[in-house]
């Protein structure tokens, strides 16, 4: 089976872990500091704070933006559940707005309409590895005096013009989960140019700690370990090479799949660098098979395609309960029925791409 994701562990990662094990310092220490410095440099931000998940990074970002009960946070219904759960953790109100059909990301026009006096933050997602509409969202956030949080969990290395993902907002959030473009099994990073945000995140990851046994506020244990930071630092050195391989694979897929009836290949917006965390097709009603039928046949033929995401977020019971219903976000709801992602990671070979293309053409009688 050609898998949808494959973490790449090489000798460098193994050596880095061994070094930490031999040092005896396994918790947050010098390797975390090293990762933070390298990550900030890579993203072009002043600060980076290492955390133990992308979810923790988003929670820290919302806390730094002083989001709490009575505030509203605008976000997309078409993302991973971890984009939205941290909003609920703060006690704030979720304001969902629909996406654009072209790239499946937040529609700035809809975001602008959803702004109220209570809007405290906007969380945009660089979905599948392509930066969101940074210029439009940043201008809306500025006018509304709200914090723009970039969920860049899928987008390490992506660019908007020359600006790196993680710097496309007031606060950037990354995940180092095993399936992400660079990874350490579990992990996360928050990026920002603001000293007070970085300090807030450092307190929040450690019980609100301000000094030895001094706790100024509520916090959590969101620390990353040196073992995982050592892996992530090695991965970060390879990020651009991983991205180049993903981009080559995506280019070959798009060239091969162009012009098939009912198949829409990924749309890349002008002046944006897509890092293809996922290579996602839309299978419309004009195709010979439905998306689900195609998924099944592909799996039978050894192609581990995936659906990101099979349901919009407002379809999950704990979100629906907040007052959303089916039909509220028709573009996101249709996307959830039509998207399918093909293996695009660096380990996928040119020959495997050719086989995938032939298989899809055969199935869809193209
Ligand atoms: C992976 C991911 C997250 C959460 O990251 P974890 O490290 O799994 O907590 C958040 N948002 C998006 C869009 C993601 O893909």
Tell me the per-residue pLDDT of 126-149, one tens digit each, with 9 for 90 and over: 999 999 999 999 999 999 999 999
Q: Please spell the DSSP secondary structure of 271-297, one letter per residue.
A: TEE---SSEEEEE-TTSSS-HHHHHHH
Q: Note the pLDDT tens digit of each residue in 198-223.
A: 999 999 999 999 999 999 999 999 99
Q: What distance in angstroms lies between residue 309's CA and the mean position of ligand 1's atoms?
A: 13
Q: What distance in angstroms lies between residue 14's CA and the mean position of ligand 1's atoms?
A: 25
In 3D space, the residue among 132, 144, 73, 80 whose CA is nearest the CA of residue 103 turns out to be 132
The answer to pTM > 0.75 is yes
Closest ligand 1 atom to 57 CA: 9
Residue to mutate (ligand 1; options 7, 50, 52, 54; most atoms within 8 A of CB)? 54
Q: What distance in angstroms lies between residue 83's CA and the mean position of ligand 1's atoms?
A: 7
Residue to mutate (ligand 1; options 4, 53, 55, 124; most atoms within 8 A of CB)? 55
SS3 label, residue 51:
strand
Whether the Cβ atoms of residue 78 and residue 106 lie closer than 8 Å to each other: no
Exposure of 196 by Cβ count < 10 A (0-12 exposed, 13-18 middle, 19+ buried)? exposed
Closest ligand 1 atom to 55 CA: 9
Residue to mutate (ligand 1; options 60, 78, 83, 280; most atoms within 8 A of CB)? 83
Exposure of 327 by Cβ count < 10 A (0-12 exposed, 13-18 middle, 19+ buried)? exposed
Q: What distance in angstroms lies between residue 82's CA and the mean position of ligand 1's atoms?
A: 5
Closest ligand 1 atom to 277 CA: 15
Each of the 366 residues of the chain gets a pLDDT tens digit; together they read: 999 999 999 999 999 999 999 999 999 999 999 999 999 999 999 999 999 999 999 999 999 999 999 999 999 999 999 999 999 999 999 999 999 999 999 999 999 999 999 999 999 999 999 999 999 999 999 999 999 999 999 999 999 999 999 999 999 999 999 999 999 999 999 999 999 999 999 999 999 999 999 999 999 999 999 999 999 999 999 999 999 999 999 999 999 999 999 999 999 999 999 999 999 999 999 999 999 999 999 999 999 999 999 999 999 999 999 999 999 999 999 999 999 999 999 999 999 999 999 999 999 987
pLDDT, residue 365, reads 85
Closest ligand 1 atom to 180 CA: 1
| Residue whose structure tokens are 């917006």 | 269
What separation in angstroms does the CA of 364 have from each of 34, 247, 342? 50, 25, 15
Q: What distance in angstroms lies between residue 333's CA and the mean position of ligand 1's atoms?
A: 20
Q: What distance in angstroms lies between residue 259's CA and the mean position of ligand 1's atoms?
A: 33
**For atom 6 of ligand 1, which residue has the closest CA?**
54
Q: What distance in angstroms lies between residue 117's CA and the mean position of ligand 1's atoms?
A: 29
The helix (H) or strand (E) run that includes residue 88 is helix 85-90
- Ligand 1 environment, Cβ below 6 A: 53-55, 79-80, 82-83, 125, 151, 153-154, 175, 177, 188
| Residue whose structure tokens are 């210029």 | 135
C-alpha–C-alpha distance, residues 286 and 155, integer Å: 31
- Count of Cβ atoms closer than 10 Å to residue 258 Cβ: 11
Q: What distance in angstroms lies between residue 153's CA and the mean position of ligand 1's atoms?
A: 5
Torsion sign, CA atoms 256, 258, 264, 265: positive
């Amino acid at each position: 089976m050609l898998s949808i994701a494959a973490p790449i562990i090489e000798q460098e990662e193994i050596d880095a872990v061994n070094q930490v094990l031999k040092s005896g310092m396994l918790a947050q220490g010098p390797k975390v500091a090293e990762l933070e410095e390298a990550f900030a440099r890579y993203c072009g931000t002043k600060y980076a704070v290492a955390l133990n998940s992308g979810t923790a990074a988003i929670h820290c970002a919302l806390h730094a933006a002083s989001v709490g009960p009575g505030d509203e946070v605008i976000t997309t219904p078409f993302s991973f559940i971890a984009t939205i759960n941290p909003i609920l953790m703060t006690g704030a109100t979720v304001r969902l707005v629909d996406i654009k059909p072209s790239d499946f990301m937040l529609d700035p026009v809809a975001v602008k309409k959803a702004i109220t006096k209570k809007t405290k933050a906007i969380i945009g997602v660089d979905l599948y590895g392509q930066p969101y509409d940074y210029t439009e969202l940043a201008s809306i956030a500025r006018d509304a005096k709200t914090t723009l949080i970039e969920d860049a969990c899928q987008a390490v290395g992506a660019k908007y013009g020359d600006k790196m993902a993680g710097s496309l907002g007031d606060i950037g959030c990354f995940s180092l989960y095993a399936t992400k473009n660079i990874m350490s099994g579990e992990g996360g990073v928050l990026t920002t140019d603001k000293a007070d945000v970085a300090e807030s995140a450092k307190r929040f990851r450690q019980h609100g700690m301000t000094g030895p046994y001094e706790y100024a506020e509520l916090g959590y244990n969101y620390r990353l370990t040196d073992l995982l930071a050592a892996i992530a630092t090695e991965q970060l050195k390879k990020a651009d090479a991983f991205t180049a391989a993903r981009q080559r694979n995506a280019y070959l897929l798009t060239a091969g799949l162009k012009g098939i009836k009912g198949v829409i290949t990924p749309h890349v917006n002008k002046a944006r660098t897509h890092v293809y965390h996922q290579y996602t097709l839309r299978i419309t009603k004009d195709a010979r098979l439905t998306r689900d039928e195609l998924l099944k046949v592909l799996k039978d033929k050894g192609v581990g395609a995936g659906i990101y995401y099979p349901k919009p977020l407002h379809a999950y019971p704990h979100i629906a309960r907040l007052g959303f219903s089916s039909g509220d976000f028709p573009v996101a709801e249709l996307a959830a029925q039509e998207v399918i992602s093909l293996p695009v990671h660096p380990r996928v070979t040119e020959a495997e791409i050719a086989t995938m293309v032939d298989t899809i053409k055969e199935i869809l009688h193209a």
